[in-house]
Amino acid sequence: MIPDRDFSTRRRPRGRRAGEVALLAVAFALLAASVYAAGSSWADARHTRASFEEVRQETAAAEARAKALQAAAGAEGAVGARAMWSVEAPPPRVVAALAQMLPRDVRLETVTLRYGAQLDVEMTLTARTAADYDRFLQALESSPVFDRVVLGDESRADAVRASVRARYHGGEAS
Q: What pLDDT, on the 0 to 100 scale, is given for residue 26?
A: 94
Whether the predicted model's global pTM rises above the 0.75 cut: no
Classify domain 83-168 by CATH number: 3.30.1360.100
Boundaries of every domain in the chain: 16-73, 83-168
So what's the pLDDT on residue 171? 62
The pairing of beta strand 106-115 with beta strand 146-155: unpaired
For the cut 50, the answer to whether the pLDDT of residue 120 exceeds it is yes
Phi, psi of 18 (to 5 degrees): -65, -35
Region of 171 please: left (phi>0), alpha (psi -120 to 50) or beta.
Answer: left
How far apart CA 95 and CA 153 sit, in angstroms, is 21
